[in-house]
A and B are shown apart, each in its own frame.
Chain A
């Protein structure tokens, strides 16, 4: 419980809401645009706005990792996938399947349930933002002191995924008969 009201919003909240608006709007464009490449580029805008949200929430290391990995690596991978599958580059009207209406109903129902639950559950919660809680120093100490075993397991997982992707995408590797 806190005595901080919703009005007037602080400068941080206004910045966060604007960035969130950009993220939600570009995410809507990702799922509705008719051009495949534009969807990947709107995804860049969405991830960039989310990185800004992390910065506002004082999670600066996560924000830069988001920029490096999502904007830098994942979107480039997706663009490679678009090119390698010889997708249509211009407008194409068959990107949506026939169940758009059902999907929209399910999505609106999901949004209604989730928004009403989080508004009902956290309407009095107030996070006091203090800079430095998400710096590289803090997070590095936390990872290498308390989260070493999951970190190592994740490294092995990443290696396995790498080898698996190579094996799946090469055509000259034959299985044992």
Chain B
């Protein structure tokens, strides 16, 4: 397996995640795009771990850690989104402008 293939797939997935984070209005869709970016990084970690044959398996272990952190992040993120929805009745990102300059 050439290392280029997983690296290119991961790069494309990461750029798609960047597009989603920048272009979407709905907070939950932005969270989904963040998940896409994390998965791109995971694919890179696994591919380079397999390539370098690390005796500590750092890549795959760190992939597991990233998956756990992503689960925690989605839990907290959705709790924050629900709190915002309760107080503002809207989760569209460009309507939450109270902290920005007028």
Q: Taking beta carbons and an 8 Å cutoff, which residues of A are in contact with B? A: 4, 6, 10, 12-13, 16-17, 20, 23-24, 27-28, 30-31, 36, 39-40, 43, 46-47, 50, 53-54, 56-59, 61-62, 65-66, 69-70, 73-74, 77-78, 80-82, 84-87, 94-100, 102-104, 106-108, 110-111, 114-115, 118-119, 122-123, 125-127, 129, 133-134, 138-139, 142-143, 146-147, 150-151, 154, 157-158, 161-162, 164-166, 168-169, 171
Q: Which A residues are CB-close (under 8 A) to B51?
A: 125, 127
Our pick among A27, A58, A162 for the contact of B75 (Cβ within 8 Å) is: A162
Give complex CA distance A50, B36 in Å.
10
B1-36 at interface with A (beta carbon < 8 Å): 1-9, 11-20, 22-26, 28-29, 31-33, 35-36
Closest partner residue, chain B, to A146 (CB atom): B56
Q: Which B residues are CB-close (under 8 A) to A56?
A: 1
Q: Which A residues are CB-close (under 8 A) to B74?
A: 74, 77-78
**Which DSSP category, helix, strand, loop or mixed, fits chain A's interface?**
helix
Q: Are A24 and B13 in contact (CB under 8 A)?
A: yes
Q: Which A residues are CB-close (under 8 A) to B25?
A: 94-97
Our pick among A61, A122, A157, A169 for the contact of B82 (Cβ within 8 Å) is: A169
Our pick among A57, A100, A164 for the contact of B47 (Cβ within 8 Å) is: A57
Q: Which A residues are CB-close (under 8 A) to B20?
A: 30-31
Q: Which A residues are CB-close (under 8 A) to B92?
A: 94
Our pick among B9, B60, B82 for the contact of A24 (Cβ within 8 Å) is: B9
Q: Which A residues are CB-close (under 8 A) to B69?
A: 154, 157
Our pick among B72, B81, B83, B91 for the contact of A161 (Cβ within 8 Å) is: B72
Q: Are A66 and B23 in contact (CB under 8 A)?
A: no
Known contacts A103-B22, A146-B56; A126 and B64 CB within 8 A of each other = no
Q: Are A164 and B15 in contact (CB under 8 A)?
A: no
